[in-house]
Amino acid sequence: MAFIKKSKKVNIPDWILQALKVLKPPEKLTVSEWADKYRILDAQTSAEPGKWNTSRTEYLKGIMNAFTDVEVEKIVFVKPTQVGGTECLNNMIGYVIAQDPSPTMIVYPTEKLAEFTSKKRVQPMIALSPVLAEKYRENESKLLELNFNGMYIVLVGSNSASDLASRPVRFIFFDEVDKYPTNAGKEADPISLAKERTRTFPNTKKIFLTSTPTLKRGPIWQEWLNADSQYQYYVPCPHCGTYQKLIFKQVKWKEDTKSPKEARETAYYECEHCQEMIQDNHKPQMIRNGEWRCINGNGKRSIAFHLNAIYSPWVRFGDVAYEFVSSHNYPEKLMNFINSWLGEPWEDTKSKLDSDIIFERQSEYTEGIVPDEAFILTGGVDVQKDCFYFTIRAWGPYMTSWNILHGKVETWEQVEFIMNQRFSKQNGESYLVNLALIDSGNDTENVYQFCLDNQDWAMACKGSSNTIVAKYKLTNIDKIDSSAYGMRLCIVDGSQYKNMIYARMRKENGLGSWMVYDGVDMDYARQVTSEEKVIERKGGRDVEVWKTKTSHADNHYLDCEVYAAAAADLLHVRYMMPEGDEQKEEEQSQENWINNDKEWI
C-alpha cells in the first residue's frame, strides 16, 4: 500500500503577503468596469444604495472611461443636478486608489464643503468597498488628507491659496467650479493655481472639471467652449429608431395650461423626427442604447461632455414640465431651471437684449392701424408642422418700420385671408400687403404650391447657411418634379437681417427705428428677443452666429420679422423717400455739380 505523505502547512508571514499584494499588477479595467465590480453605494447618500450599476446611468460610462484614455488630459462635464455627476467623480477617485495610485487633489468651493464631503462621501465610499478599505491607512490620515498604499488624497477649498499650491499631484478633480471665488486670496484664480500642481507629471496627468453652469462667462461654460472636442448624448426614438439629443423644446404638455400640476400630468416627449409620443417608460431603454457623439472639434487632449436633467432616470418628463411652468414667470426660479435642470448658462440681463426693449418700442398706433408716415406693407410667415406664425410690418422713409399685426393661425386659408386684408391709416387711406415671404424649410411642396397660387403677393424663401453679400439673392426652384419648377425663390441671410433688426431695435422711437404697435403682447416680445450673437469656432477661426439664448426658446416671430425685412428689400423700400426729400436730394445733387467747377474743369 502506498502512503501519501502529508505536506506541512507553511505559515507565510503577513509582511510577505502584504508585499505580494503590492507587487501584484492591477486588473486591466476601465473606470466603469471597476465601478461595476467593486463600487458600493451608501444608503445615507444614494437614491439607490447597493452595488453600482453603470447601465442605470449609461451616459456616465463614456465620461468615466475617458479617464483611462491615454490621449485625454482634461475632461469637462457640464451637468445639471440629478444625473449622478457626483458619483461619476467618486468612481474615478475609487479607480485611482485601487488601480493607479498617485498623488491626488480634490478641489471644492469651500474648505467646509471639503470637510463635509470627506466625512460623508469619500470615507464612507472607502469603507464600503473592500478593495479600497484594504489600501486605506486610517491611522495616518486626517479629515482633509487621506493616505493609502502608494498615494495620498488631499481635499481643499478653492478659497485657500496655500492649500492649492502646497504639493505636486498627478490627478486633480475640480467639483462645482462655478461656485469658486474669482481669486484665491491675493493669488490667481483657483483653477489656474491648482493646475500648476500637475507640472511634475507632464505626460500622465489627468484633470477633471465638473459643475452645474451659472453664467456664460462662468468657468465651466468657458471650459466647454474651449475644449478640443464637445460631446452630447444621443438616444434612439423607440418608434422610428432615429438618434437624437433629448432637448427641452420637445417636452410637450397640454397647450395653454397655466397649472404646473396639469403640465406634469399631461407631459410627454415628442420625437423631433417622427413626432410620435415618447413616454417615461421608454426612457430607460433609450438611455441604455444611447451614445456620445462629437458635435464640434476633433481633438482629444481636452474633451467636454454636456447633459441635461431630461436624461436622468430619476426625472420624469412631467417633472421637467412642472418645474418650467412653476418658474418661467420668476427670473430667480427660471435661472435655477436653466442652470440646474437644463445644464445651460443663464444670461446676464445687463449684457443682452431682452423683451423689455420691445415694450419701449411701442408707438402711438394701435394694432391694425397703418402709421401716417408709412407707404408700403410687407409680411413674413414661419411655417411649422401644425401652425403658421405671421407678421405684417409697415415701412416708411429710411427703413423706419412698425409691426401692425402678428399672430398664429392653423390653415393656409387663414394665411391667405389675413394677407389679403385691407389695413387703413387714421385718415381712411387703405393698404394691402405688397409682398410676403413664406418659409419653405418645412412642408416645402405645399409652400411652393401656395406661393404658385398667390404669386401676386407671396414668394417662397429659404434660409442661407452662408453669408450673402446683398443679404438675399433670388434663384429659381430647380426641382423638376415640383409643380413650382422655375418659380422664383428668395435665399435669405437671416444673420444679417437679425443684425439690422437688433440694431434698429436699440434706436429710440423715430426716424429709422424698428417699432411695434401700442399694447404688444409678451409672447411676441420674448420671441423677437429670443436670440443673441455668440462666438463659435468654425473652420479654424472664431465666427459670430445667432443662437437662441436657451434651448426652450421659441423664435418664430423673429423669423417672421426677418422675412418681412427681406421682402422690404426686394421692394427696394430703403430707397423710397417722401416726395419733398426726393426733390431736395435732386436739387442738392445739381447744386453740388454746378458749384464743383474745379473738378468739372
Q: Of the candidates 204, 226, 248, which is a domain's last residue?
A: 226
Per-residue pLDDT averaged across 453-467, rounded?
92
- Report whether pLDDT(399) > 60: yes
* Cα dist from 244 to 59, 271, 292, 306, 457, whole Å: 14, 8, 11, 14, 38
The domain of 447 spans 356-580
Could you give phi then psi for residue 551, rounded to 5 degrees?
A: -65, -20
Question: Does residue 151 lie within any of the structural domains?
Answer: yes
pLDDT of residue 585: 45
- Report whether pLDDT(11) > 90: no
Question: Does residue 105 lie within any of the structural domains?
Answer: yes
Could you tell me if 161 and 184 are in contact, meaning their C-beta atoms sit under 8 angstroms apart?
Answer: yes
pLDDT of residue 311: 97
Per-residue pLDDT averaged across 178-200, rounded?
77
pLDDT of residue 27: 79
* % pLDDT > 90, the chain: 66
pLDDT of residue 191: 85
- Report whether pLDDT(14) > 60: yes
Q: Which of 166-170, 189-193, 329-333, 519-523 has the highest mean pLDDT?
A: 519-523
Could you tell me if 42 and 49 are in contact, meaning their C-beta atoms sit under 8 angstroms apart?
Answer: yes
* % pLDDT > 70, the chain: 87
Question: Does residue 320 lie within any of the structural domains?
Answer: no
The least confident of 130-134, 352-356, 466-470, 550-554 is: 352-356
Same domain, residue pair 221 and 361: no
Greater pLDDT, 389 or 184: 389
**Three-state secondary structure string covering 167-223:** CCCCEEEEECHHHCCCCCCCCCCHHHHHHHHHCCCCCCCEEEEEECCCECCCHHHHH
Per-residue pLDDT averaged across 500-524, rounded?
92
150: left (phi over 0), alpha (psi -120 to 50) or beta: left
- Report whether pLDDT(1) > 50: no
pLDDT tier for residue 10 given thresholds of 50, 70 and 90: low
- Report whether pLDDT(385) > 80: yes
Question: Does residue 22 lie within any of the structural domains?
Answer: no
pLDDT tier for residue 592 given thresholds of 50, 70 and 90: very low
* Cα dist from 572 to 227, 431, 435, 542, 578, whole Å: 45, 17, 12, 33, 14
SS3 state at 560: helix
Question: Does residue 65 lie within any of the structural domains?
Answer: yes
Could you give phi then psi for residue 227, rounded to 5 degrees?
A: -65, 150
Could you give phi then psi for residue 58, rounded to 5 degrees?
A: -55, -30
pLDDT of residue 484: 83
Amino acid identity, position 418: I
Crossing angle, helix 444-453 and helix 412-419, to 10 degrees?
Answer: 40
- Report whether pLDDT(595) > 60: no
Strands 423-424 and 268-270: unpaired
Question: Does residue 146 lie within any of the structural domains?
Answer: yes
Question: Does residue 293 lie within any of the structural domains?
Answer: no
Q: Of the candidates 226, 254, 284, which is a domain's last residue?
A: 226
Per-residue pLDDT averaged across 302-318, rounded?
96
CATH of the domain at 63: 3.40.50.300
Greater pLDDT, 419 or 356: 419
> Average model confidence (pLDDT) for the chain?
87
443: left (phi over 0), alpha (psi -120 to 50) or beta: left
- 151-178: per-residue pLDDT in tens? 999 999 987 766 777 788 999 999 999 9
Please report the beta strands in 440-575, taking only residues with DSSP state E, as ranges in sequence order. 458-463, 472-476, 488-492, 514-518, 531-538, 541-548
Q: How many domains does the chain have?
A: 2
Amino acid identity, position 488: R
Residue that has been written with the C-alpha cell 428677443 in this structure: 529
CATH of the domain at 377: 3.30.420.240
pLDDT tier for residue 574 given thresholds of 50, 70 and 90: confident
Q: Of the candidates 195, 210, 226, which is a domain's last residue?
A: 226
Greater pLDDT, 42 or 94: 94
- Report whether pLDDT(518) > 50: yes
Return d(Cα 387, Cα 42) in angstroms, integer.
51
Question: Does residue 350 lie within any of the structural domains?
Answer: no
SS3 state at 161: helix
